[in-house]
């Protein structure tokens, strides 16, 4: 049984093989939006500041 691979995946794999210089641009873009250092104190403060949600927030108080 063959593993499915989309046309887009095939195109991107072939394009990246033909343009290896784009790997650096890909890394820069990922670093810009995703790979950020995490501060544990900030994460803890955000977790502690959340307000508990009701099970169904749209239900009126009866």
In whole angstroms, what is the distance from residue 9 CA to residue 45 CA? 40
Query: Please, which pLDDT band fits residue 1 given cuts at 50, 70 and 90?
Result: low
Kindly report the length of the chain: 62
Contact between 23 and 16 (Cβ < 8 Å): yes
Query: What confidence tens digit (pLDDT) does each residue in 2-60 have?
Result: 799 999 999 999 999 999 999 999 999 888 888 788 899 999 999 999 988 878 878 77
């Amino acid at each position: 049984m063959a593993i499915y691979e989309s046309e887009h995946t095939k195109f991107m794999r072939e394009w990246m093989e033909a343009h290896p210089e784009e790997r650096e641009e890909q890394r820069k873009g990922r670093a810009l939006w995703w790979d950020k250092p995490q501060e544990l104190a900030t994460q803890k403060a955000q977790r502690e500041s959340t307000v508990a949600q009701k099970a169904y927030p749209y239900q009126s108080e009866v």
